Amino acid sequence: MIWRMGIYTFTTCLICFLSFLYTPIYSAESVDSSKQGLFPDYKKKVLDIIDFGIEPLEKLDGVQNEEDLYNIVLSAEQNLAKSHLDLSELKVPIELPNDTRVLLGRSKEDLSTGLKALEEGMNYYAQYIVKRSPEQYDKYVKKRDKGIRYINGGLTTLTSAELQLDDPLEPIQSVWEVGKRNLYKLEKAIPVKGVSNDN
């Protein structure tokens, strides 16, 4: 009789314990999955904005003359200006957890700073094509390097937010790596007198 009471008590405790464990896990998963649906959309918009900004530089391989190069650089400057504006208008989803929103806000600030620096860099490079001034070229290199650093930082923070949601879908930086290569190609497009092109 005592052993039956022990079995009933044990069984009751086990059921209560399991139901306690199961309920919070289930509700946490359902909340997280609804929030995770917002993040991939936001991430895609951010990556599309960055990709649009650097898209004209994909034409560098086909450049035949300086006029084509100049037009590509001007197009990149315009696209980067639009990307900077589009990113500033992009809203971080309010439904995401506060700590994730803070990371996304920080990411957005860094990406915005990076896009603006690249836009300014394209302007300096366009001036360099026209004037052949090493000073303009040096300004381009500084803005390019600043832009790359900030965009790398912004993408790293975006990845941190994604990991915080436990939602790593695919590597973020693949598109950006191609864009960075194209930014460095500009350095080799026209030889600069008095400036080393070796990296």
Q: What is the pLDDT of residue 158?
A: 95
The rounded mean pLDDT for the chain is: 82
Query: What are the 10-residue block averages of pLDDT along the chain, 199 residues in total?
Result: 49 45 39 66 96 95 91 98 98 95 98 98 97 96 97 95 75 68 80 54
pLDDT at 115: 98
Instruction: Look at residue 173 in the predicted model and tell me its pLDDT.
Output: 56
Please give the pLDDT value at position 64. 85
- Amino acid, res. 184: Y
Q: Give the model's pLDDT for residue 141.
A: 96
Burial grade of 93 (CB within 10 A; 0-12, 13-18, 19 or more): middle
Handedness of CA 197, 185, 170, 97 (dihedral sign): positive
115: tokens are 């896009």
Give the Å distances, CA to CA, from 115 to 48, 70, 81, 154, 174: 13, 19, 8, 11, 17
pLDDT tens digits for range 32-67:
555 558 999 999 999 999 999 999 999 998 888 999
Contact partners, residue 162, CB within 8 Å, separation at least 6: 39, 43, 168, 169, 172
